[in-house]
Structure 1
Amino acid sequence: MRSLTMHLKIAIIILFALGIAIIGYQIFVLKTPLTESEVDNLWTIDAKINFEVSGNKPVNIEFYIPPKSGDYSVSNELFLASGYGQNITSQKFNRLVTWSARSVSGQQTLFYRLNLTKRFSDEIENSEKGDLWRAPIAVAGPEKEAVERLVKDIRSKSANVSTFITTTINTINDSTNSDVQLLLNNKNSLENKVKAIELILSQAYIPIQQAHTLVLNQSTNQTPTLWIRSYIEANKSVDNRDSSTNGGNGSWYYFNPINGSVGLPADQVVWWVGSGNIINVENGSKVRVNFSLDKSELTAINLAKLTAEGSSLTEYSFYTLPISTQLAYQIMLLIPFGVLIILLLRNVIGINTLGTFTPVLVALAFRETGLAFGVVFFSIIVFFGLLLRSYLEHLKLQMLPRLSIVLTFVVLLIIFVGLFSHKLGFEQGLSISLFPMVILTMTIERLSITWEERGANFALKVAIGTLITASIAYMVMGYQPLIYLVFTFPAILLLLIAFMLAMGRYRGYRLLELFRFKAMLK
């Protein structure tokens, strides 16, 4: 007996732990939404590429596309380049798509579209670590003296690598500084300022990268924004840096090259990294890239579908099934919760029902008719069915002919009530044909036997208990948040089985029995 109890406890623990593990994986790793009302922004970005080719020439196009890792997850990429071969390569910090054709001429148009959502990103800007040290850029003459003076001044105003970079940016944007104007050579473009910033930082052995971003707003013809970034170890001073090629516990820090602000805004996404152009076209001219962005809301259902498409665990998710099959599975998955209601009401509360699972079947029928109409309809059918069953009992018929007659009578009653309710304007009557006729027939038969064996009073209690249990089961099985939760996290059924196993050894009093034996307790 002790080994059996231990076996039961182990089974409960395993089922409970397995259910919690699967649900936790879906919530914390796959980031599946817990509620149906949850929504997330879905950004659609279109890149339109135009260029011209003079004569019939071979063409090779290299175009940067966003990396897979980052604050935003890339999904549903679409490439439209008719007549071109295509190849996607992953570089250290970028992805590059290459289109090629042997012979094209005239105006050419290519499209690239992708969807971005933040929910399923890795929450890590880039898994690739950056360099912590770089060799200085060679400089000579007056420029060298100007750089040395600038580095000395910036070093005195900074405490660590981050503040050194910020001070450098602010210094380069100071139009009154003569040393800065010498380096810029009266070319105050943003690209030239970034080159000057890189020159100064290289003298302090600080490596930086150019990062080109798009602002996530609903716009057309947007131009990428230039930022600089550096891989920095926490609280690392400029003078305490070695020549390691890769960082240890560092992070990427983004700097605005115009005002020195730190941190990439949440509405910006990195498109590519480096000083190269976003696109290079061999044998093409008048190259233009236009970006168009649009925002839509991704509902919890679609979020769950997106999760199912991106994970091997949820490859067999219910969301991959046809819609009609999904509706059927939703009903099936809620049946155990109806059974749970019966278990609690019978074993804990002590309510008597007609049969073990008859209330669940009645509750399923209520899904078609609605609760109020279903209770009235159930009562009418059972009442007249009992009258007929009582009459047939006097005829001393065998069980099979008797059940056949009752079933036929139930069919006639269903048809009559349906037509009558339709004439009265109750459209629910049109769906009562789905009410399980066999269940009604057996309910009438068993209720009649109970009446004969244990009296009318007990039979009435059983009928009322069945209706109460079916009504509660209907409300639980029809609770929309629960339907979404179980359909999205089917491992909840493992927790349900574990609870039912625990209830299997319950031998305590039922609540209604406490009232029954109240006098004895005194």
Structure 2
Amino acid sequence: MHSINLHLKILIAVLVSLGVLITGYQIYLLDIPVTEDETDDIWSLDAKVEFRATPGTPIKAQFYIPPLNQDYVSLNESFISNNYGVSVNSQNGNRRVTWSSRRASGTQTLYYRLVLTQRYSEEQLAAAPPPPRQPIPLEGPEQIAADALINPIRQHSADIETFISETIRRVNDITDDNVKLLLNGGTSAMDKARVIDLLLSNARIPLEMVHTIRLENTEAQSPELWLRSYNGERWLYFHPETGQQGMPDNRLVWWTGPEPLLAMEGGRQSSVSLTVTNSEMNALRLAKLTTENRASALLDYSLYGLPLQAQRVYQVMIMIPIGVLVILILRNLIGMQTLGTFTPVLIALAFRETEVGWGIALFTLITALGLSLRSYLEHLKLQMLPRLSVVLTFVVLVIAAISLFSHKLGMEKALAVSLFPMVILTMTIERLSITWEERGGIQSLKTALGTLIAATLAHLLMTIPELTYFVFTFPAVLLILVGFMLAMGRYRGYRLTELMRFKALTKG
């Protein structure tokens, strides 16, 4: 007996643990939404390239586009142009689209759109560390100015991070004559980044220029320049003008390197406008969409991978264990008497179409008429199988009659009576009749009332939309229910109704 109890406890622990772990994995690692109405941000990035074509000259427009290897996943990417060839190439971690045309005239417009989201993006590998840095060769005054800046920077820094911060601070001091010489009259962020890169190269510190955009609702936006360096363990990001360390979370890397965003051949007066817009999408729909757009098993091996018609069937079926759990609690803990375990659940399923009020009324009417017929047949001394056949046929006729009269009276809800399980109604009538004969009419009515109450409670719980969504999306929770049912199977204590009946004894 002890070994059986131990085996049962281990089985319950395994089932509950599996249910909790699988559900937790889906929620926290796969990031599947817990509620059906949860939404997530969708970002649409639009780039518009305009230029005037040079007559008689082939056109080649090269435009950097996001590398799609960050913490975002692409939902849709499109290139819109008229009479242009389009090709996308990857090089040094960047992606570049090339629009080409043999000839064109007048103003030309090219469009690029990328729709992405952060949810459900796969964990990306960190960028590979850069190769060893070689100093940028300088001569004459530039070398002297660079040395004059690097020497105090070395004295006021302790590592790569502080060296870069000190370099940025000094380069942004445009009153310094050495800085003025190296800037050569330029004061833009790119000019300062070029000087910072020059100084760091002399210290053999790697540096990359990173061009980003802000994920904010903006009509027109220009790429924002950041600098990043590798300290041997991780990438460090710096703003070349403010010296701010750490790139904000709402920045998306568009491309890296000193090259411009657009390189144009065969065109002039080119311009690029970037627009970012934000919208929301249902989180579950988004999960399905991202699964379709990338090789992922996020929802492929869930019930959402079934055809829609099969999904609707399983949304009903998967709630049956919830209804059974209600009956189990009502019978084993409360002590309510019902006609078996599954009869109330099947009646609860029929209530999905008839609604509770109509369902109870129709169930009561059909059962009462069936009991009257069953009482009459008892006097004929028929065997059980013929008697059940007659009752079943009578139930069918009653259901057909109710449907016909309700249709004539315009009570469309009553038409759903045909969805009642006729065999279950027949067996219910038979079992109520036996209970009536063996234990009396009052006990039979109590059992019928308990069955209706249990069916109603099961129906109300099984039709909660949030619960249906949760169980259908995370079916592993049923393993937890199985563990609870196994534990209930060894319960030998008092039921609530028994405590009420023997209240005087428990006090004594």
Q: Fold match, TM over 0.5?
A: yes
Alignment pair present for 1:70 and 2:59: no
1:264-320 per-position Cα deviation (integer Å, ceiling 9, x unaligned) = 223221111111233445555555443332211122322432464452253133334
Q: Residue 283 and residue 8 in structure 1: after superposition, are their counterparts in 2 closer, same or farther (change >3 A)?
A: farther
In the alignment, structure 2 segments of 5+ residues that lack a partner are none
Match of 1:351 in 2: 336
Which of 321, 346, 366 is matched with 1:336 structurally? 321
Match of 2:177 in 1: 178
Percent identity (aligned): 50
Cα distance between partner residues in 1 of 2:345 and 2:287: 29
Alignment-mate amino acid for residue 43 of structure 1: W
Alignment-mate amino acid for residue 68 of structure 1: L
Alignment-mate amino acid for residue 333 of structure 2: V
1:283-362 paired onto structure 2 within 5 Å: 283=266, 286-306=269-289, 308-309=291-292, 310=294, 311-312=296-297, 314-362=299-347
Q: Residue 367 and residue 146 in structure 1: after superposition, are their counterparts in 2 closer, same or farther (change >3 A)?
A: same
Q: Residue 317 and residue 49 in structure 1: after superposition, are their counterparts in 2 closer, same or farther (change >3 A)?
A: farther
Alignment pair present for 1:147 and 2:146: yes
1:206-252 per-position Cα deviation (integer Å, ceiling 9, x unaligned) = 222111111222233432222212223xxxxxxxxxxxxxx3x32x2
Alignment-mate amino acid for residue 489 of structure 1: F
Match of 2:400 in 1: 411
1:139 Cα offset (Å) = 1.8
What TM-score does the superposition give when structure 2 sets the normalisation length? 0.86
Match of 1:28 in 2: 28
Match of 2:201 in 1: 202
Cα distance between partner residues in 1 of 2:154 and 2:255: 31
Match of 1:514 in 2: 499
Q: Residue 195 and residue 483 in structure 1: after superposition, are their counterparts in 2 closer, same or farther (change >3 A)?
A: same
Match of 2:118 in 1: 118
**Paired residues of 2:370 and 2:391 also in contact (CA < 8 A):** no
1:42 Cα offset (Å) = 0.9
1:334 Cα offset (Å) = 1.0
1:247-286 paired onto structure 2 within 5 Å: 247=232, 249-250=233-234, 252-281=235-264, 283=266, 286=269
Which of 476, 481, 491 is matched with 2:461 structurally? 476
1:337 Cα offset (Å) = 1.0
Q: Residue 79 and residue 21 in structure 1: after superposition, are their counterparts in 2 closer, same or farther (change >3 A)?
A: farther
Alignment-mate amino acid for residue 117 of structure 2: T
Alignment pair present for 1:134 and 2:133: yes
**Paired residues of 2:319 and 2:462 also in contact (CA < 8 A):** yes
Secondary structure (helix, strand or coil) at the match of 1:293 reads strand
1:187 Cα offset (Å) = 1.9
Secondary structure (helix, strand or coil) at the match of 2:46 reads strand
Match of 1:367 in 2: 352
1:140-178 per-position Cα deviation (integer Å, ceiling 9, x unaligned) = 222222222222333444454334323332332333222
1:123 Cα offset (Å) = 6.5
- The 10-residue stretch of structure 1 (155-164 or 212-221) with the greater mean CA deviation from structure 2: 155-164
**Paired residues of 1:37 and 1:300 also in contact (CA < 8 A):** yes
1:153-172 paired onto structure 2 within 5 Å: 153-172=152-171
Secondary structure (helix, strand or coil) at the match of 1:387 reads helix
Cα distance between partner residues in 2 of 1:47 and 1:469: 61
Cα distance between partner residues in 1 of 2:113 and 2:23: 33
Q: Residue 15 and residue 418 in structure 1: after superposition, are their counterparts in 2 closer, same or farther (change >3 A)?
A: farther
Secondary structure (helix, strand or coil) at the match of 2:440 reads helix
1:359 Cα offset (Å) = 1.0
Q: Residue 419 and residue 218 in structure 1: after superposition, are their counterparts in 2 closer, same or farther (change >3 A)?
A: farther
In the alignment, structure 1 segments of 5+ residues that lack a partner are 233-246
**Paired residues of 2:51 and 2:267 also in contact (CA < 8 A):** yes
Cα distance between partner residues in 2 of 1:510 and 1:291: 70
**Paired residues of 1:52 and 1:105 also in contact (CA < 8 A):** no
Q: Residue 478 and residue 56 in structure 1: after superposition, are their counterparts in 2 closer, same or farther (change >3 A)?
A: farther
1:182 Cα offset (Å) = 1.4
Secondary structure (helix, strand or coil) at the match of 1:295 reads strand
Match of 1:240 in 2: none
1:330 Cα offset (Å) = 1.1
CA RMSD, Structure 1 to Structure 2 (Å): 3.2
1:405-443 per-position Cα deviation (integer Å, ceiling 9, x unaligned) = 233113323444565573xxxx64464443434433432
Match of 2:441 in 1: 456
What TM-score does the superposition give when structure 1 sets the normalisation length? 0.84
Cα distance between partner residues in 2 of 1:12 and 1:99: 63
Cα distance between partner residues in 1 of 2:442 and 2:9: 41
**Paired residues of 2:133 and 2:206 also in contact (CA < 8 A):** yes
Alignment-mate amino acid for residue 66 of structure 2: P
Q: Residue 396 and residue 269 in structure 1: after superposition, are their counterparts in 2 closer, same or farther (change >3 A)?
A: same
Cα distance between partner residues in 2 of 1:281 and 1:4: 79
- The 10-residue stretch of structure 1 (512-521 or 291-300) with the greater mean CA deviation from structure 2: 512-521
Q: Residue 88 and residue 329 in structure 1: after superposition, are their counterparts in 2 closer, same or farther (change >3 A)?
A: farther
Cα distance between partner residues in 1 of 2:59 and 2:140: 43
1:400-439 paired onto structure 2 within 5 Å: 400-417=389-406, 420=409, 422=411, 428-429=413-414, 431-439=416-424
Cα distance between partner residues in 1 of 2:198 and 2:304: 54
**Paired residues of 2:403 and 2:415 also in contact (CA < 8 A):** no
Alignment-mate amino acid for residue 93 of structure 2: F
Q: Residue 97 and residue 507 in structure 1: after superposition, are their counterparts in 2 closer, same or farther (change >3 A)?
A: farther
Alignment-mate amino acid for residue 16 of structure 2: F
Cα distance between partner residues in 1 of 2:430 and 2:66: 69
Which of 438, 447, 459 is matched with 2:432 structurally? 447
**Paired residues of 1:132 and 1:206 also in contact (CA < 8 A):** no
**Paired residues of 1:135 and 1:202 also in contact (CA < 8 A):** yes
Match of 1:242 in 2: none
Secondary structure (helix, strand or coil) at the match of 2:318 reads helix
**Paired residues of 2:345 and 2:458 also in contact (CA < 8 A):** yes
Alignment-mate amino acid for residue 154 of structure 1: I
1:192 Cα offset (Å) = 1.4
Cα distance between partner residues in 2 of 1:420 and 1:104: 76
Secondary structure (helix, strand or coil) at the match of 1:67 reads coil
Alignment-mate amino acid for residue 267 of structure 1: N
**Paired residues of 1:48 and 1:291 also in contact (CA < 8 A):** yes
1:35 Cα offset (Å) = 2.2
**Paired residues of 1:32 and 1:304 also in contact (CA < 8 A):** yes
